[in-house]
Amino acid sequence: MSSEIVLRTIGLGKSYRGRRVVQDLNLEVRRGDVFGFLGPNGAGKSTTIRMILSLITPLTGSVEIFGQDLHRNRERALASVAGIVEKPDFYLYLSAVRNMQIAGSLTLRRTPKKEKIDVCLGLVGLSDRAGDRVKTYSHGMKQRLGIAQALLCDPELIILDEPTNGLDPQGMKEVRELVHHLATEKGITVFLSSHLLNEVEQVATRMAIINKGNLIVQGSVDELLRSNANTVVVNVTPQKKALLLLQKMRSASVVETAEQGIRVEIDQKRIPAMVAALVESGCQVHAVIPEKSLERYFLSMTEQS
């Protein structure tokens, strides 16, 4: 994966009625990322996206997209960018193809060719419903149609604000698979804002967490979760004997027991000593599995902030 930075915010800030919504925000999105932009509701995610897309003006700081300063070179900076903020709007009594023609004529200043529309609808899995009125579409299909419209300009960077909001599990799966396909097969960098942590965990390669407008952490998803993986599942027999021993250890804290083992909070450096103590007591340790959970990591980071 290239280390080229395609999107950078530098000291970005915004206030409404004297209240600071985003402050001193420094983000870096690299080419090929599926970048998860995470935060509780009201954390400043949508405000940040609007500033990145030049829909609102920052109070402080700047945005660089593909090396172009957004304020000085807005048209060049946004030339290879597409974005969907909140939910896309359509002419519900028109077909998907007709909506694509209208959207294309507005964004590209010309009606896109039928071949181009067919390709974009095919990418999002709507080829067989292309001629149907959009009012017959499910919420998930409308989200995918919105992404198809965004793809008309052949973006190198696509920004999605809560794309799975309000979707049922099937709709979430479809959008998640589409995001993965766009990144891995089409080479499109995806900036994905969401508060649905499980969805982001399954698709994101890098992420940033903000809270109350402040950046808490950013980096590789795997590395951040691994660095915080102090919860392990100990698969051990006999479990009752092991549980009694673990409860007496000062270095370990038993969280709960389950079929797969005993969940234990413990410093990674102390795991070998824990295993040795269990073995010496006559227990058989079959596995010690680090529990990497974006939800646990997110909660720990936002609570600390």
Do residue 235 and residue 164 come from a single domain? no
> Strand 284-290 vs strand 214-220: parallel, antiparallel, or unpaired?
unpaired
Q: Which of 187, 221, 255 is a domain's end point?
A: 221
CATH code for the domain of 23? 3.40.50.300
Residue with tokens 């609102």: 56
Distance CA 217, CA 28 (A): 12
Over the stretch 44-54, which tens digit does the pLDDT of each residue have? 999 999 999 99
State the pLDDT at residue 293: 65
Q: How many domains does the chain have?
A: 2
Kindly state whether residues 165 and 41 are assigned to the same domain. Answer: yes
Q: Which strand (E) or helix (H) includes residue 288?
A: strand 284-290
Q: Which of 221, 242, 257 is the last residue of a domain?
A: 221
Per-residue pLDDT, averaged over 253-280, amounts to 85
Residues 138, 12 within the same domain: yes
pLDDT score of 117: 93
Q: Which residues, other chains included, contact 185 with Cβ-Cβ below 8 Å and sequence gap of 6+?
A: none
Domain co-membership, 202 together with 265: no
CATH for 300: 3.30.70
Q: For residue 61, give every residue at least 6 positions away whose Cβ sits within 8 Å of its Cβ, in sequence order, or none.
A: 9, 10, 11, 12, 13, 24, 25
Of the three residues 221, 237, 270, the one that is the final residue of a domain is 221
Helices and strands of the chain, counted as H and E runs: 11, 14
Q: Residue 279 belongs to what domain range?
A: 228-304
Q: Are residues 172 and 141 in the same domain?
A: yes
Residue-wise over 216-237: b if at least 16 C-beta within 10 A, else e? bbbeebeebbeebbbbbbbbbe
Are residues 232 and 215 located together in one domain of the fold? no
192, 179 in Cβ contact below 8 A? yes
| 239 shares its domain with 213 | no
pLDDT band at 228; cut points 50, 70, 90: low
pTM assigned to the model: 0.78
Quote the strand ranges of 17-97, DSSP E: 19-30, 34-38, 60-65, 68-69, 81-84
Domain co-membership, 206 together with 75: yes
- 138/74 same-domain check: yes
Contact between residue 118 and residue 130 where contact means Cβ atoms under 8 Å apart: yes
